[in-house]
Amino acid sequence: MFSRLARPALSKCMSQRTFTTSSKTNAKVAVLGASGGIGQPLSLLLKTSPAITQLSLYDIAHTPGVAADLSHIETPAKVSGHMGPDELDACLEGADLVLIPAGVPRKPGMTRDDLFNTNASIVLNLAKACAKKCPQAMVGIITNPVNSTVPIAAEVYKREGVQGWEKRLFGVTTLDAVRANTFIAEARGLEVAHMSVPVIGGHSGVTIIPLISQATPAVSFPPEERKALTVRIQNAGTEVVEAKAGAGSATLSMAFAAARFAGKVLEALAGGEGQVECAFVKSNETDSSYFATPILLGKNGVEANLGVGKMIEYEIQLVSEAKEELQANIKKGEDFVAQNWS
């Protein structure tokens, strides 16, 4: 059932900063899928982080070029490029944080679940390598369908005997919160830098649940406008897919979102307090075994799950409507590993 945890003021914790000078120093960050539409701008943003001393880029193509290009930027992080499965272990060795945007994006008319057949095995294999080479690293999975790829990685970690993975495995849903902040600030003419809207649930269609009633600063909308904003946040990925007209899905806003997530993880690893971000994690907060909620990050990953908080009736209904799809997505990921484990 829904927890009603008393939560710290999320507005303070869910700040929109990406990197600060106090973020974990000497961190090694690996990006898997680094040559892609998300991977390249994400790696660029990471290269600007003073906290990162080693940025290791892995892909099945083009990583030598991406790494050479980034390595000329006058920031401390050393950049290495690793191409093809033979070079994956070297990329992961000693990583503190692994970000995974490897895999195909949607084209117009597709759902995220339509990516499952291609992306499930990519994530399975990359998770296996992470479980073997850097089992203690924080792992942020960006690859869609996130509702299934996170359970896939979890099943791999279980089978590889990795302890405590529940605290270190995250589906990166930050982009949903970034969009909610943008759209709601726009709708009310408020300064977006100070807007903070938790987005819970999963990362596809009706499973994306913005909690506008918990926005800070507080905002109120007539029911029809609240519904329209909710639907826009739920369909924002599709908005980009259609605008790109076959050339992929969100890449630049996703890179920004993943860099923000990474900045908070690194800050928390360095002992920084009050780092909160919504993420899709193993969860006891609702009937779904994985669920995105605001997460307080710490030195070991998930320090505390801050839960769904106090929702209005409309939001409780959204959670209930998401349950069937979310649970089916989770089961599909778990079944995939059961059927393909070797």
Q: Which residues bind ligand NAD (CB under 6 A)?
A: 32-33, 35-39, 58-61, 101-106, 115, 119, 122, 142-144, 146, 172, 175, 203, 248-251, 254
> Any idea which residue has 């970034």 for tokens?
178
Which residues face 210 on adjacent strands? 199
Question: How far apart are CB 146 and ligand NAD at their closest, in Å?
Answer: 5
Taking the least distance from each CB to ligand NAD, the nearer of 98 and 254 is: 254
**Gap between the Cα atoms of 174 and 280, Å rounded:** 9
**What are the residues binding ligand LMR (CB under 6 A)?**
105-106, 112, 144, 175, 203, 237-238, 240-241, 249-250
Contact 196, 17 (CB under 8 A): no
Give phi and psi for 213, each to the nearest 5.
-65, -20
Question: Nearest to residue 87, comparing CAs of 66, 56, 48?
Answer: 56
| Catalytic residue, candidates 72, 82, 194, 203 | 203
Q: Which two tokens stand for residue 287?
A: 């009937």
Taking the least distance from each CB to ligand LMR, the nearer of 78 and 244 is: 244
Per partner kind, with CB cut-offs from 5 to 8 A, the member of ligand NAD, ligand LMR, none near residue 100 is: none
Q: Which amino acid is at 297?
A: L
Position with the least CB separation from ligand NAD = 36
Per-residue b or e along 48-69, where b marks 16 or more CB atoms closer than 10 Å to that residue's CB: ebebbebbbbbbeebbeebbee
Question: How far apart are CB 148 and ligand NAD at their closest, in Å?
Answer: 11
Question: How far apart are CB 148 and ligand LMR at their closest, in Å?
Answer: 12
Give phi and psi for 18, each to the nearest 5.
-95, -75
Any idea what the Cα angle at residue 6 is, between residues 4 and 7, rounded to 5°? 115
Taking the least distance from each CB to ligand NAD, the nearer of 104 and 228 is: 104
Position with the least CB separation from ligand LMR = 237
Contact 201, 207 (CB under 8 A): yes
Q: Is 203 noted as a catalytic residue in this protein?
A: yes
Per partner kind, with CB cut-offs from 5 to 8 A, the member of ligand LMR, ligand NAD, none near residue 103 is: ligand NAD
Taking the least distance from each CB to ligand NAD, the nearer of 115 and 185 is: 115
Question: How far apart are CB 122 and ligand NAD at their closest, in Å?
Answer: 4
Residues labelled catalytic: 203
